[in-house]
Amino acid sequence: MIMIVLSWRYISSSPTHIVFILADDYGFHDIGYHDSIIKTPNLDRLASEGVKLENYYVQPKCTPTRSQLMSGRYQIHTGLQHGIIWPCQPSCLPINEVTIPQKLKESGYATHIVGKWHLGMYKKECLPTERGFDTFFGYLTGSEDYYTHNRSYDKFHGMDFRENMQIVQPQYNGQYSTHVFAEKAKNIIKSHDPQIPLFLYLPLHAVHGPLQVPDQYEKPYTNITNKQRRTYAGMVSCMDEAVGNITQTLEDAGLYDNSVIIFSTDNGGQVTAGGNNWPLRGWKGSLWEGGMHGVGFVNSPLINHQARGTTSKELIHVTDWFPTIVHLAGGSVSGTQPLDGYNQWETISNGKKSPRKELLHNIDPKRTTLQTSNNNMIYRKDMFDASIQAAMRVGDWKILTGNPGNSSWIPPPESSITPPHPTDIPGKNIWLFNIAEDPNEYNDLSLSRPDKVNELLEILQQYYKTSVPVHYPDDEPACDPDKNDGAWGPWQ
């Protein structure tokens, strides 16, 4: 994800332009500066000239990250804590949630989205152009074919490529989506009046499955024998090229000097679809570090010279972009529901301590395990129910409860590394780690530090008390694209 943000009211006499680029399913190991075999020269350069975020967290799946980015609020406060929004579910980011583009419109911004929405579409009010964006070019569901731009789900099949409300799939059939989205983003930048502040949100399809890429991007990786990994590497290289071209267009248009670029993944890499998070534990969908510890950096000429080229180990979460961007735009967060994010601009631009001291990864009461005493450790009944899937950071400490998801360490398939094997203890549902000392979650301390476990369970219970009911409705057959001109879109 790349994002450019500038505070045109407070930082410069010229408008601040914000470009947010969000990669999809991009693994922690899969960027060049994390010692990857995959070549990412443009991302590496932007990160090395800006600030690398190495204690940065997203959510384990697509919709949860996007909902928290757009609203600045935890899933437990929007009802989206159980998972993604499927194409036939009558669900979306609640209409009463104020979004980033809605706040930026208050500051005079032109707002555009190019790419994947995945925040609900069952009624018109859920669509991007109803949530603060002036224009939308892209698709509404969670994934699709990179060339045909069609989406199949259950027994349904339909087109999913629109410009605002108009279906444009036929004219782009056969064109690779990363190229199409990059070209659209470049055209928006080229035609933009530099005196008007710009917010360009670019949630790319890349590098989510299906694994598809033009041959020329895969050819440099013939030494990777694993076919999925080889195609995925080509997809990353294509995405890297697109980011470089967009950045160059910003420079050519005279916008770059008043821009902030933020790049982020939406969740950990999907190891069954070519991605890799080594040396972190777990992958997409899990509450282990590999599912949530995200690739991220910020590049901007507005960053203090002393902070450029540095690595930040300060705790930052995807919810923090909402207040940070609004601050940089010279706006106010008044009028929103209570935010869970913090303004991190001083942390990023001046190396200050993060205002964030703790982070709720999630609490999902629809995912529970059999309740146990966790190896004869007895906890007070008023503490958090450890059968519920949850995870939280407080300072350097992380607690996981219930079933956090697949706990394996998976080296990249092109390596010869032999990973450790997780030790499964029947009935176990509490884990404790010091992430600063043990970022790869090798050493569970739950039995040796029951005092810390009890402390964190109490905090989890306090968060749980603030949660709203899970909204995860059944599919509705009225979603059938055949009833909607052959395309996915609002059916209510």
Contact present, 368 and 329 (Cβ < 8 Å): no
CA–CA gap between residue 374 and residue 444 (Å, rounded)? 13
Q: Which of 77, 118, 149, 293 is catalytic?
A: 118
Structure-block tokens of residue 136: 């939308």
| Residue 238 a catalytic site member | no
- Active-site entry in 62, 92, 126, 238: 62
Q: Does the annotation mark 62 as catalytic?
A: yes
Distance CA 189, CA 416 (A): 44
**CA dist 218 → 22, 94, 222, 224, 479 (Å):** 22, 40, 7, 10, 36
Measured CA to CA, the distance from residue 146 to residue 350 in angstroms comes to 40
Q: Which residues lie closer than 8 Å to 149 by C-beta, 6 or more apart?
A: 139, 159, 160, 161, 169, 172, 173, 177
- Pairwise CA distance, residues 316 & 314, whole Å: 6
Strand 388-394 vs strand 358-368: parallel, antiparallel, or unpaired? antiparallel
- What's CA 255's distance to the chain center, in Å? 25
User: Shortest CA distance to 432 belongs to which of 441, 423, 424, 440?
Assistant: 441
Which CA distances in Å does 2 have to 225, 263, 295? 31, 4, 11
Q: Report, as residue numbers or ranges, the catalytic residues.
A: 62, 118
